[in-house]
Amino acid sequence: MAASDLADNFRRAMRTIASTVHIVTIHVDGTPMGITATAVSSLAMEPPSLLVCINERAAIHQVIGTRTHFCVNALHRDDVELAHHFSDYRMRELRFRTGTWLTDGEGPPRLAHAQASIVCALRQEHRFGTHSIFIGEVESVAVREDTDPLVYLDGVFGGFGG
């Protein structure tokens, strides 16, 4: 199969795979940064850990590796606006002005109304192709009572039930 066909088929396949939507955040000398990311996965329970995959072109890529902590905020279905703001560089100014963000000193911002927010200590970084994989060990977790996560499927934001 030609490389371009393979890439197209892979893209098509990925469009059929539903993903939950997250905002990954860090704090950099008093300035919060964040990115919308679906390439997030739990990794292990021993120790509790997860990974996030970040494109080298994203602003956060240059600095996340210099931080001690990051936060994965899984979005609730109500927060589709946040997903748009954190995935569009023209909306950078609006990002942390939308929603209720909690900060604790230089710790990464937590979204108060996230479906779940998970603060991790950065443990490892691996480079592959255009992306880096950042592995974090879970240090604290907050979970929202009502379970209705924001899901991305076939280019559209929705809920678990469609």
Give whichever of 145 and 155 is closer to ligand FMN, judged by the CB atom: 155
Give min distance, CB of 87 to ligand FMN, in A.
Answer: 3
Q: Show Cβ contacts of residue 42 under 8 Å, excluding neighbours closer than 6 positions.
A: 49, 50
Read off the tokens for 133.
Answer: 């994989």
Q: Does 72 bind ligand FMN (CB under 6 A)?
A: no
Q: Does 25 bind ligand FMN (CB under 6 A)?
A: no
Contact 38, 85 (CB under 8 A): no
Read off the tokens for 108.
Answer: 């990464």
Chain residue at closest Cβ approach to ligand FMN? 39
Of 29-37, 66-74, 107-115, 137-145, which part binds ligand FMN (CB under 6 A)?
29-37
Contact 118, 38 (CB under 8 A): no
Query: For the window 142-161, what string marks contact with ligand FMN as x by the rule CB under 6 A?
Result: ----------x---------
Number of H helices, E strands in the chain: 3, 12
Rule CB under 6 A: choose which of 53, 80, 121, 142 binds ligand FMN.
53
Q: Which of 7, 59, 56, 15 is nearest to 38 (CA)?
A: 15
Give whichever of 1 and 155 is closer to ligand FMN, judged by the CB atom: 155
* Cα separation values, 56 from 6, 37, 67, 71, Å: 22, 13, 16, 19
Give whichever of 49 and 87 is closer to ligand FMN, judged by the CB atom: 87
Residues 83-142 interacting with ligand FMN (rule: CB under 6 A): 87-89
Binding residues for ligand FMN, per CB under 6 A? 21, 35-39, 53-55, 58-60, 87-89, 152
